[in-house]
Amino acid sequence: MPEQIALVFGDQKIEYGRLLEAVKRLAAGLHSLGVAQGDRVAIMLPNLPHFPISYYATLYLGAVPVPLNIMSHQKALAYYLQQSGAKAIISWTGFLPHVLKAVRESPGCGQVIILGDRMPASCVPLTRLMAQSQPMAEPCAVAEQDPAVICYTMGSSEEELGAVLSYAALESNAATCCEMFHLTAEDKVAGVMPLFHPLGQTLAMNAVFISAATLVLAPKFVAASVIEMIAANRVTFLPAAPGMFRALADCTQVPAETPSLKLCLSYGGYLATEVLHAFESKFNTLILESYGLTEAGPLVSAHRLNLDRKIGSVGLPLIGVDIQIRDEQGAPLRPNQIGEIWINSPSNMTGYYGYPQQTAERLKNGWLFSGDMGYLDEDHYLFIQERKDDIIIKGGFHIYSFEVEAILKQHFEVAEVAVVATPDSVQGSEVKAYVVRKPGGTCGSEELIDFCRNNLPFYKSPRYIEFCDQLPKSPTGRVLKHQLRKRAATGRQGPKESK
């Protein structure tokens, strides 16, 4: 149905016919620049129509898109380009300073294709490349297990690794999303998740276009603007991160009426119960909580529309996905016992690009070791507890940081908190909390430590508190605890630390 609207961006509407035409033209343009089947093409673009056009043009050519975080600076970009062996990069003029410096350090990246005006002569204008190219007649033939996309993730290491997802993995995850969330051509899906994020690609792009639905793009997340976008375009489905739901629930601007919004999906971290209830009450809709990770394609579990919802759970395994909870020796655990989440899914990555040893550490006999801790209840609902790396081992005792965080959040002056391990010469590790106070808050370290000791066993209470203006977060709002662990390992310690 070429006349069906595929993309909405502000006042711009792009039909499926025009979208396919643009994809074919850019595929031909990339081919004319020497990009061939199997080559990697880095894509560093905001949530603009040119992102899906570039993504699918690369796939149409049989090349491999490498979506990059738009907040990446020169050092990280150079690593991505070098490690992936990218032959070209498609980006925007606003990112040029970082891109050009990174390309100079990456001799294999011979083509810089830029969206926008005012670029060096060495760059290729994206819109001109599309306009001057004749549409490529047929897509390159590929096999189901061929690499389709490389998505960089922290994985379980301190170095970002490129998870390789096959065509079969992308198709499986997207098709399952279509079935689970009942997506049809009548739906309009809000594109507020960054498209470089795996869920943005799987749900906002692949699942939407498979079902011939409409993607309504938000160039950046601003709560009031997103509410207006939902109302103006009669959006029916909103996949978003927990921090986004909090911002929408807290938005003080008089909300536009959003009767079209029938379903939401929360992905990418813990959604506080009070946020869930506040959002659902404010917008008269339903949030389904979910779980996944880049290496698993990414969606692994979610609540169902036609089954009971258990608040605090991330739902049931997707159709065709098997989840087991295992102990440190790899033995399966009984219901309600906490262990590592192992995943057997048709959407699992084939491995980390260029890292066979790390691949072998995460994949075994079709099973992916998630690095996340959790449990399955008697009904097979999954409950997430902790990243394996975030467990604090103090004097032989295992401390789950989420338990300490839950107590600190009960203090009336605490806005946000993240708890990590910090080295200790006696205990091996100690408990440290990074705290963001609410506006006007004056609580000190001693007060918060005493508060914890009144509500937790002594050994679980933080020994150190550090106040900060904000916590480091990913583009989707996930707290980057690996950065805090590094900070805790190198910084001074003291119970009266403050900023």
Whether residue 420 lies inside any domain: the answer is yes
* Region of poorest pLDDT, from 15-29, 155-169, 330-344: 155-169
Looking at the DSSP assignment, which residues form a beta bridge with residue 393? 398
Q: What is the pLDDT of residues 469-485, one digit of tens each?
A: 999 987 767 788 888 98
**Residue 239 and residue 101 share a domain:** no
Give the residue from 388, 413, 432 where a domain finishes: 388
Whether residue 5 lies inside any domain: the answer is no
**Residue 245 and residue 111 share a domain:** no
Residue 497 has pLDDT above 60, yes or no: no
**Residue 230 and residue 300 share a domain:** yes
Tell me how many domains the chain contains.
3
Q: What is the pLDDT of residues 46-105, one digit of tens each?
A: 999 999 999 999 999 999 999 999 988 898 899 999 999 999 999 999 999 999 999 999
**Residue 372 and residue 298 share a domain:** yes
* Region of poorest pLDDT, from 152-161, 227-236, 411-420: 152-161
Burial of residue 316 (number of CB atoms within 10 Å: 0-12, 13-18, 19+): buried
CATH of the domain at 232: 3.40.50.12780
CATH of the domain at 440: 3.30.300.30
Q: Are 366 and 345 within 8 A, CB to CB?
A: no
Give the residue from 368, 388, 408 where a domain finishes: 388
- Domain of 127, in residue numbers: 12-142
Q: How far is CA 221 from the centre of its chain?
A: 14
Looking at the DSSP assignment, which residues form a beta bridge with residue 266? 240, 289
CATH of the domain at 124: 3.40.50.980
**Residue 360 and residue 437 share a domain:** no
Q: Are 313 and 335 within 8 A, CB to CB?
A: no
Residue 493 has pLDDT above 70, yes or no: no
**Residue 467 and residue 358 share a domain:** no
Euclidean distance between CA atoms 399 and 268, whole angstroms? 22
**Residue 322 and residue 233 share a domain:** yes
Amino acid at site 53: I
pLDDT tier, 270 (very low <50, low <70, confident <90, very high otherwise): confident
**Residue 335 and residue 263 share a domain:** yes
**Residue 422 and residue 346 share a domain:** no
pLDDT tier, 345 (very low <50, low <70, confident <90, very high otherwise): very high
- The region, left, alpha or beta by phi > 0 then psi within -120 to 50, assigned to residue 428 is left
**Residue 119 and residue 19 share a domain:** yes
**Residue 64 and residue 34 share a domain:** yes
- What is the CB neighbour count within 10 angstroms for residue 477? 18
Mean pLDDT score of the chain, rounded to an integer? 93
Whether residue 200 lies inside any domain: the answer is yes
**Residue 297 and residue 237 share a domain:** yes
Whether residue 307 lies inside any domain: the answer is yes
Span 436-460, average pLDDT? 93
pLDDT > 90: percent of the chain: 80
The answer, yes or no, to whether the previous bond of 107 is cis (omega within 30 of 0) is: no
Span 339-354, average pLDDT? 97
Residue 282 has pLDDT above 90, yes or no: yes
Predicted pLDDT of residue 498? 42
Predicted pLDDT of residue 354? 96
